[in-house]
Structure 1
Amino acid sequence: MPGLIGFLPWIVYAIIATSDEWRWGAITGLVIALVLVVRDRRAGKAWDEMVIESSAAVFFACLTVLSLVDPHSPLTPYGPALVNVWLAGTAWGSLAIRKPFTLGIARTMTSQEVWESPRFYRVNAIITTVWAAAFTVAAVSLTLVLNAAPHATTLIIAIKVLTFALPAVFTAWYPKHVRRALAK
């Protein structure tokens, strides 16, 4: 799934960043996001194909500045939740402006004649809604866990993995399901 490479900065941040040292995670996320944006633009990708990468560049630029200016910020332990708050805002925001973030990615995997169809838009709106809901659930769950049991590492990892893997699986399955239903 080509669109998942855009999540690389977020995934690397989740692996590197810890509550004690989030600076390296933020810096690494920023570098990866910038590399992806530059690489994709040089390859001729449109901005709507790079919503997640562009969003990552902005988020990690802000987080890098914050982590360097105030490394002991009270937000430090909530890094994993902040990531999901930002991603939820990106996904919900793309839906609010009627440009689901998956639309540009999906256009690269489909023929141009389907791009303007209401069904194509609806499929992408549903997929983006699933991602937005997963990011929201992750943000709330991680905030609660990090507040109540900040050292519950297994639970924190489980939340991160499930709230990424489930929408990724849905993203791969749903368009195929719609095509099969239409073929009947």
Structure 2
Amino acid sequence: MTYLRGFIPWIAYGVVAGFADWRWGALSAFVLSVVLILIDRRSGMKVDAQILEISAAVFFAVLTAVAFIAPHSGVEDYDSCLAFGWLALTSWLSLALRMPFTEGIAKREVPQEYWNSPRFKRVNVVITAAWALAFTVTCAVVTVVYLLGLDDSLDIAAQVAGFVVPVMFTNWYRQRAVGAAQDA
């Protein structure tokens, strides 16, 4: 479940923005992402294990600036679309650069002797692709919900599914990969 740590700023944004204000949600998410990066850097964590945190810091730095400079800009109305779109972009870009964001995270739990194996690489490409697809679909669904003015419960359900489905897939696929490695 180490990979969920990278989503802490995103979750914090949703909670703080929901209960307080989007400006404070953006600022708290930015601060949390920077704190996570600093903690990891001090413990010797490499950048490849911080792709989500770095991505969050960039996204929330921009969102915080917009939120405080132009709080009535309308960006708040599309914050979920933008967030899932950004996460999708981060995921797809990490795949295109052959640095699947899950690989660095997996290195926190998997012994180093497996890091260069084709199986380890393939598992992380598949898992990152699943997250990228989930983020892309969630972005599209949330955008349609907003554009059509549909009920907020659909928005919430789509966002929850956008995290729960890839978490379930990741857990299942990792267990499948471990089982296959043990059988080999």
In the superposition, the TM-score normalised over structure 2's length comes to: 0.94
**In the alignment, what sits opposite 2:16?**
16
Pairwise CA RMSD: 1.5
Question: Which ranges of structure 1 fall in alignment gaps of 5 or more residues?
Answer: none
- Give the paired residue count: 182
Q: Tell me the CA shift for residue 148 of structure 1.
A: 1.1
- Structure 1: which 4+ aligned runs deviate by more than 3 Å? none
Aligned to 1:72, the other structure's residue is in SS state coil
Q: 2:21, 2:146 → 1: CA distance?
A: 15
* Matched residue type, 1:97: L
Q: Tell me the CA shift for residue 181 of structure 1.
A: 3.0
1:90-105 to 2 correspondences below 5 Å: 90-105=90-105
**In the alignment, what sits opposite 1:126?**
126
Q: 1:14, 1:141 → 2: CA distance?
A: 17
* CA deviation map 1:122-157 (0-9, x unaligned): 10000000000010011111111011126x221111
Aligned to 1:17, the other structure's residue is in SS state helix
**In the alignment, what sits opposite 2:175?**
176
Q: Tell me the CA shift for residue 107 of structure 1.
A: 1.2
**In the alignment, what sits opposite 1:162?**
161
Q: 2:45, 2:126 → 1: CA distance?
A: 23
Q: What's the % identity of the aligned pairs? A: 46
Q: 1:92, 1:146 → 2: CA distance?
A: 24
* CA deviation map 1:34-65 (0-9, x unaligned): 11111111111111111101110110000000
Q: 2:109, 2:129 → 1: CA distance?
A: 19
